[in-house]
Structure 1
Amino acid sequence: MEEASFSTDNILSNFPSCLRKNIEELCLRSKIGLSSITLNDITIPKISCAAQYGILDNFHFILKVPYAGKKMKWEVIFDPEDFFFTPDFLFNDDEFLENPQYDYLMDNVPSLNNWDLKNPQALAKVLNEFLGLYKKLQVEKLRTENIYSRYWEEYEALTTKESGIGPEQIEVQVGNNIDFLVSLPVDCSALPPYAQPVIFRNSPHNEGYNPGFDFAHLKITILELDGARTNASLQLSPRLMQVLGPSKNINLPSFQNMALVTYVDSVSKMIETRIAAVVDHYVKKKVYIVNMAAMCSKSIIEYDAENFNKAVFLYDDDDDEYNCLVTVSIGAKFPQEKPTVQLSSIYCQDSKFCNETIDKYPYKPSHKPEVNIEHLLEYLGDVVKKFKCHKHK
């Protein structure tokens, strides 16, 4: 079966209009289990008899459904003559719902019986109920099969009240390996806002950068049941990745010979410590830039009101009737490292646009921001006079 993949710009247009609200809700506003499905996780097969003409099988599509750090292929098939009729679902796991009883299915997937395509959340609800049932069967397999008994005990220990992690925050998949995906209980509420990249203003290209909800997921794979071989990795939301860096660059502690609950706790504390450092840095930047904007209120040109990395104000020397722009930029090591200060002017004696960075102004990390700003403003008086009279070699 040939599949056609599409960019996020045009994939919705490839679905019948009656399905688009459900697809949009599923991909842009819904969680499926612990994770989410993106528009790039959907493929539409081509009709085999007309593949050479690029004709799409629009009533049939394939979803990459995230679970336990992997992606499963589930197929959704609508009746092409009546899209409002309940769709069929095919799963890529032969052990999952091979011959389900009607009552069993209705008890565990009630939204299937109450299918209403006019409800934009209909597809997301059904998928979450199917995924909940899949998870239930995986957990039961972990509990009942003797070869997994050690990890069932560790799973139980991890889901106690003391750990702060409930069963709903863990996904487990059992097979040749055991995969655990744990949603770490870290607080992201005080983090700086997501800095949205802009490709083209007012362009649909920006949709792909929607950060969605915050999460820090720890994936643990048991490669050998005696614990001799294990893997651990992090999955971070866009905002966490932006402030902490790529997850692959975060060195995790070794999982060898450590209880699951102990390991999860150690990684949680490590992430919390890093988040606290980012928040502290963000708050101190904000206090500094806001104070600068207030103290230079009559001459402020612009300042970064989201991430508080920069402020620009006009320094006016009343005595000489001369002014220049002052750009104050805050780096990653602030407040231990002083901000960068740059003077800019078009009033150069050689008719050039000139910049000069000053770094010898008085600054002490232990001083209050308003004191450091006051010292900077005082220092600028003499420096600006020299900048006005500078000459090019």
Structure 2
Amino acid sequence: MDDETILEAFDPEIAKFVEVLLKNGNVGVFGGSIRVLEPKTGQYIISQKGCCDRFRVQVPFAGSTLTWQVIFNSVFPENPPDFMFGPQERTFIPELENVKSLVNWDASNRDCLLVVIKELIHLYKEFQENLLRNYSRMQFEYTSLLELDTGKFNDVELLLARKGVRDTSVNFLIKLPVDFSEIPEFLTKDNPGEDLAVLLVSFQNVESNKALPQLYLSPRVEHALGGSASLRIPAFPTGGCLMDYVPNVCELLENMVDQLVKGYQKRSEYIAAFLSHFGRSVLEYDVESFSKISIMFEMQDFYFTMHITLPAYFPRDQPEFMFQSIYHTGTHSKPYTAIVKDYPYSPRWSGNEMAERARIYLNEYIPEFKRASVSQIRVR
């Protein structure tokens, strides 16, 4: 059921609250969306549309989903709703006076239901913190993490979930305070939203010294860092602690961002150096990401092009040189090419030195490439 169909099912005076949930209901450490499900009515006479006054909401919390029922009365739609919590929250019974936004319900404010849900989430977090006090091992994990670096890792959601008669698993969802603001804009411009990184650490039970960690990134950050395949975090060590593990993962991510930013700066320097050394011969180059440059060369009446591709994590990773003849064709009648990756290179060189070393290498390599292109034998 799409959002428009859902809204049509509700009484108009209630639909305005639901619409805010659907459009702006991002909550929690990772900013997940609130989902609205199963619109129903408490009326005896049911029309086709516009009569529903109760529904379920799914709220993301600590790597899991809370399912609560919201109950309005379409006869008195201006009245505040009632809430029924799920079986996992059967002991979560907040005092009404603690839900200030519900006590001071203002039906003229379209955001009032969202405000109530956010306040209930905050109270639910406090409820989970109180439950954790019964388990000394997990309480230590939580408090020691919060005390690190004057509250650097204090944006945490935790959830104790009963798995059976005896077992209770524990989730910690931790926002990693990584600064993504220096990531080049071209890597994030096509992915709207916030830049976020959160770490979910799941303990099998309250006494376990084993945990499963999972890193979640917002689409902008994941795209900028090269996709999920590039993001491998270390396993949680047996007997390890959150206070040691979480800063390590945070530092790993910070280093990746730092390499990405410095790589962009070094690619810019590299392209500028090649423009300086081979300016009149340059055919084109990437002015946004500085990831490619193409140059036309002539040596002893032999003309060819050189295409240089710079990797995202340059200068750690070496650029690729592709030489292409403008005369000869290789397999499938395509221009004859040769790809070179074993030329002299050091990530510690300046862009200017890299360009100068490339010039020296060209003088040595071109005769070999010319002979190979003429004879149609690939080299290197």
Instruction: Provide the TM-score with structure 2 as the length reference.
Output: 0.70
Deviations along 1:238-293, whole A, 9 cap, x unmatched?
4554527459842223141x444334344434444454445444443343245445
Give the alignment of 1:160-239 within 5 angstroms. Answer: 160=147, 162=149, 164-165=151-152, 167=154, 169-175=155-161, 176-191=168-183, 195=187, 210=192, 212-221=194-203, 223-224=205-206, 227-238=207-218, 239=220
What SS does the aligned partner of 2:352 have?
Answer: helix
Deviations 1:17-66 (A, max 9, x none): 8554652233xxx4x1212224xx635337699xxxx9898765544312
- The change in CA–CA distance for 1:44 and 1:372 in structure 2 (over 3 A counts) is same
Which position in structure 2 is the counterpart of 1:157? 144
Aligned-pair identity in percent equals 21
Residue number in structure 2 paired with 1:33: 28
Q: Is the 8 A contact 2:160 2:169 kept in 1?
A: yes
- Aligned partner of residue 288 in structure 2, secondary structure: coil
Q: Residues 285-304 of structure 1 correspond to what in structure 2 (within 5 A)?
A: 285-292=267-274, 299-303=282-286
Q: Quote the offset at 1:73 in angstroms.
A: 1.6
Match of 2:66 among 61, 72, 78: 72
Which residue of structure 2 aligns with residue 386 of structure 1? Answer: 370
Residue aligning to 1:104: 98
Residues 293-332 of structure 1 mapped to structure 2, 5 A cutoff: 299-303=282-286, 305-306=288-289, 308=290, 310-315=291-296, 317=298, 320=301, 325-331=305-311
- Equivalent residue for 1:254, pick from 203, 212, 237: 237
Other structure's SS at 1:155 match = helix
- 1:237 offset after TM fit, Å? 0.8
Residue pair 1:37, 1:64 contacting (<8 A) in 2 also: no
Q: Which amino acid aligns with 2:37?
A: I
Q: Secondary structure at the match of 1:250?
A: coil
Note if 1:129 corresponds to 2:129: no
Partner of 1:200: none
Instruction: State how far apart, in whole Å, the 1-side matches of 2:49 and 2:275 are.
Output: 59
| SS at 2:135 equivalent | helix
Structure 2 CA distance for partners of 1:192 and 1:12, relative to 1, 3 Å = farther
**Separation in structure 1 between the aligned mates of residue 327 and residue 144 of structure 2, nearest angstrom:** 70
2:315 alignment partner, SS class? coil
Q: Is the 8 A contact 1:66 1:72 kept in 2?
A: yes
Q: Tell me the amino acid that sits aligned with residue 213 of structure 2.
A: S
Q: Give 1:23's aligned amino acid.
A: L
After TM superposition, the score normalised by the length of structure 1 is 0.68
Equivalence for 1:367: 349
Q: 1: CA distance between counterparts of 2:76 and 2:102?
A: 21
Instruction: List alignment gaps of at least 5 residues for structure 1.
Output: 198-205
Residues matched between the structures, number: 349
Can you give the 5+ residue segments of structure 2 that lack an aligned partner in the other structure? 9-14, 162-167
AA partner of residue 15 (structure 1): L
Q: Distance in 1 between matches of 2:252 and 2:237?
A: 13
Pick aligned residue for 1:357 from 309, 325, 338: 338
- Report the equivalent of 2:320: 340
The alignment partner of 1:177 has SS state of: strand
1:262 counterpart SS class: helix
Deviations 1:290-333 (A, max 9, x none): 54456555634241624x4x21334154985x865532112367
Change (3 A) 1:349 1:219: closer
1:214, 1:286 → 2: CA distance? 27
Q: Does structure 1 residue 95 correspond to structure 2 residue 91? A: yes
- Are the equivalent residues in 2 in contact too, given 1:111–1:126 (CA < 8 A)? no
